[in-house]
Amino acid sequence: MMNTLKKRKLSVTVVGDGMAGKTSLINAFLGKKFTEKYTATTSDIHHGSTIRYGERFNVKIFDFAGEREPEFINSSALQESDVIIVCYSTDDRESYESIRSFWAPQLQKMKRKLNLW
| Beta-ladder partners of 46 | 61
Alpha helix segments (H runs only) across the chain? 22-29, 76-79, 93-98, 104-114
Q: What is the pLDDT of residues 91-105, one digit of tens each?
A: 999 999 999 998 898
Q: What is the pLDDT of residues 62-85, one digit of tens each?
A: 887 777 665 666 667 777 888 889
Q: For residues 36 and 27, give the distance between their C-alpha atoms in angstroms, rounded to a whole number.
A: 12
Q: Give me the residue spans of the domains in the chain.
A: 6-114
> Which CATH superfamily, name and number, covers 6-114?
P-loop containing nucleotide triphosphate hydrolases (3.40.50.300)
Mean pLDDT of the chain: 80
